[in-house]
Structure 1
């Protein structure tokens, strides 16, 4: 691995604790969506509308408070904020578990606790982006981000595989309890991690911090261009993978087993993509990273033209690999280019902007399929991804941003 190897990173006890905390958190969190969905649908009289209410209660505060989470993460210790968020989320999942186990689960109560988990995520993720460069040296950031993603991808695949069986075997309530236990373990590991210092911004108001974060975000053209690009990419992915893909898989490819094969292909691709991302040291990281986004349109295009399931799964593998190459390079570039005292706020604006059109993609998928057919709708989604990616690459700041010389030239980086 260019410049520093994974085992060299693990020699650092602080990185080791962060890796374990993040991996265990994702492993536990994989149980939540499956258990919550089937737990709600098993309630007397519940249906798709009930589940939509609960998921909306979880998603809206997560998106709405993301920027607030970035402000808080730039004011106080990021590791302590992550710990607090994990404990709050664990308490909510234990509450949900108790509701489903006792069969006393009013929808308003489920929605309230689901909202707590959404708030916890809004606090956790901006802090996570900012905490990595506080633990890892600049020239090792790309390897560290790749190693963290490797743990996340493994945990997510394992969790997704185990979650359905756990719900079927012990019920949704106990599976939600497993989620809570995992988050407590993650919090304990974060507690063992020496707290990162806050930036002591107590003399400024929250509004001033928001404005300063926005200035840092808006002043970098490469940053807001790619975030704008991804607002459309995510919307197209939500429509393609969330609605249209399953519709085509059910109608033409054999249903759920075929769709599972495609998703497994994508998951395996993310594993391969991490190893590629760790080794790549391009002089123009955003040129390489943004070019990877073209691959996101590949499985959507293959579904649209009616390709066999194994061909679509292969395309999904390429997408998974390319998406992780983009993710590692994007996170690393932000961590190198953004001042650390503003990094969490900028990451929050990144998350808010990237996902702001996602719900619209979900809402537009069905009407679009009714109007032009699911296959043509998928091709339109793929065309949108390609078009906005061409637009992003047309911006000189995206193509020409260069990585530091010490990062590109492995010979200038001392291992460990």
Structure 2
């Protein structure tokens, strides 16, 4: 019997993965370019935090609307529109930086525009991936999807740091705009005839209420999201503000921070091989072991580790992100009805990043008040404590992977095996 290794990968899965990789190449370098564009204007940690915080704050404001629309409209339409909007905002930002006319308020406004586009894209994207693969292949599909995305981020982060140093941040932002445009064009090839699960024709407020009931009724879900709202605030301060500032002051500049981000992406990528095969029974207990690794870069920065050790810490953190992310997606897919998934995903995103703008905006003032070293200690210890505290919720510790019936091909292969009799 001839087997097809990737027969489970539908057309929509392949198209969505390819488009995500293309956009990811530019997105990995864009945060470096934006941070150093702010620093080149004479801004410091506070200015970088305000620009990054504007992006996150805009996501928080529009996420719930984006999730509700993604369950009511064709998801590919929402994704293409969001991609084109992001392409336009990044192109305008690139022009301002390249012509030397950029001002801080413009960087803040365009960063917020980028966050708004992401708020509409993200829930639709997760919904599309969820309905493009069967549940029995979910672990493999999510792991391979993350490997593809993270592989593009390895190249994007490394090249982004080098290009910011070599030709300036404006050109890196222009590459990001081109990536969004190409990704939008590719998503036009998504299978429009594929089965979808649109929401019933209810009002927008009613749709949001239905999503909230689904979200709030599961203790494991809101407990982890609450954890991430606090972890995200600390992580945003470390990786979006303190990291670039320390890299410029002590490690050599944008190319050094780009190398550190590439190491983070390498951890994301290589851990995908583990998650293709590892299928822990207690999915959230296993996933939360990955959260314990998130604080590694903060500890490396506060201990003034040299660049190789910082890269090792970033690699470790990336490994933790994939371990958590794949198990989290499996939990969502097996527990959340498909017709409500984008709305629940929006509440997930909303809660997880709700405090991230606060973290990045306050990162500079906190560092000024406490000192950079003490601010880093605060973030590192807080992330570790939060990763342990969520385990107090019994549903997080005990939620188990559901046994799935074998596929027809698997059942046929099993039937063809010779019977084993006892002697």
Q: Distance in 1 between matches of 2:306 and 2:402?
A: 44
Paired residues of 1:32 and 1:176 also in contact (CA < 8 A): yes
Which of 270, 280, 289 matches 1:282? 280
The answer for the alignment partner of 2:120 in structure 1 is 123
Any idea what SS the aligned residue of 2:188 has? helix
The answer for the alignment partner of 1:291 in structure 2 is 289
Q: Distance in 1 between matches of 2:368 and 2:85?
A: 42
Alignment of 1:385-400 (within 5 A): 385-400=383-398
Give the TM-score taking structure 1 as reference length: 0.84
Alpha-carbon displacement from aligned partner over 1:279-301 (angstroms, at most 9, x marks no partner): 11111111100122112233433
The answer for the alignment partner of 1:141 in structure 2 is 138
Q: Distance in 2 between matches of 1:94 and 1:65?
A: 21
The answer for the alignment partner of 1:67 in structure 2 is 64
Paired residues of 2:57 and 2:115 also in contact (CA < 8 A): yes
1:184 aligns with 2:181: yes
1:158 aligns with 2:155: yes
Q: Distance in 2 between matches of 1:86 and 1:117?
A: 10
Paired residues of 1:74 and 1:198 also in contact (CA < 8 A): no
Give the TM-score taking structure 2 as reference length: 0.83
Any idea what SS the aligned residue of 1:405 has? coil
Paired residues of 1:218 and 1:224 also in contact (CA < 8 A): yes
Any idea what SS the aligned residue of 1:211 has? helix
Q: Distance in 2 between matches of 1:32 and 1:246?
A: 13
Residues 51 and 6 from structure 1, CA distance in 2 versus in 1: closer, same or farther, beyond 3 angstroms? farther
Alpha-carbon displacement from aligned partner over 1:130-182 (angstroms, at most 9, x marks no partner): 11121111111121111111111111121222234445666555543332222
Paired residues of 2:212 and 2:344 also in contact (CA < 8 A): yes
Q: Distance in 2 between matches of 1:142 and 1:106?
A: 45
Paired residues of 2:292 and 2:387 also in contact (CA < 8 A): yes
Paired residues of 1:76 and 1:198 also in contact (CA < 8 A): no
TM-aligned CA deviation for residue 262 of structure 1: 4.3
TM-aligned CA deviation for residue 125 of structure 1: 0.3
Residues 373 and 39 from structure 1, CA distance in 2 versus in 1: closer, same or farther, beyond 3 angstroms? closer
Residues 107 and 246 from structure 1, CA distance in 2 versus in 1: closer, same or farther, beyond 3 angstroms? closer
Q: Distance in 1 between matches of 2:302 and 2:110?
A: 39
Aligned Cα RMSD in Å? Answer: 3.4
The answer for the alignment partner of 1:85 in structure 2 is 82
Alpha-carbon displacement from aligned partner over 1:97-132 (angstroms, at most 9, x marks no partner): 445556666766665554432221110001111111
1:204 aligns with 2:220: no
TM-aligned CA deviation for residue 224 of structure 1: 0.4
Q: Distance in 2 between matches of 1:6 and 1:97?
A: 42
TM-aligned CA deviation for residue 370 of structure 1: 5.4
Residues 121 and 5 from structure 1, CA distance in 2 versus in 1: closer, same or farther, beyond 3 angstroms? farther
The answer for the alignment partner of 2:420 in structure 1 is none
The answer for the alignment partner of 1:273 in structure 2 is 271
The answer for the alignment partner of 1:20 in structure 2 is 18
Q: Distance in 1 between matches of 2:257 and 2:109?
A: 32
Alpha-carbon displacement from aligned partner over 1:245-275 (angstroms, at most 9, x marks no partner): 5666677x65547655544433322122111
Q: Distance in 2 between matches of 1:372 and 1:185?
A: 45
Residues 355 and 203 from structure 1, CA distance in 2 versus in 1: closer, same or farther, beyond 3 angstroms? same
**How many residues align structurally?**
407
Residues 168 and 312 from structure 1, CA distance in 2 versus in 1: closer, same or farther, beyond 3 angstroms? closer
Comparing 58-67 with 322-331, greater Cα deviation is found at 58-67
Q: Distance in 2 between matches of 1:246 and 1:103?
A: 21
Residues 352 and 184 from structure 1, CA distance in 2 versus in 1: closer, same or farther, beyond 3 angstroms? same
Q: Distance in 1 between matches of 2:38 and 2:365?
A: 26
Structure 1: 5+ residue stretches without partners: none
Q: Distance in 1 between matches of 2:38 and 2:305?
A: 35
Q: Distance in 2 between matches of 1:37 and 1:382?
A: 22
Paired residues of 1:58 and 1:116 also in contact (CA < 8 A): yes
Alignment of 1:301-340 (within 5 A): 301-305=299-303, 309-340=307-338
Q: Distance in 1 between matches of 2:38 and 2:380?
A: 33
The answer for the alignment partner of 2:419 in structure 1 is none
TM-aligned CA deviation for residue 307 of structure 1: 5.2
Q: Distance in 1 between matches of 2:47 and 2:298?
A: 30
Structure 2: 5+ residue stretches without partners: 414-423
Alpha-carbon displacement from aligned partner over 1:180-208 (angstroms, at most 9, x marks no partner): 22222211221111135564546311111
Residues 66 and 311 from structure 1, CA distance in 2 versus in 1: closer, same or farther, beyond 3 angstroms? same
Q: Distance in 1 between matches of 2:197 and 2:330?
A: 21
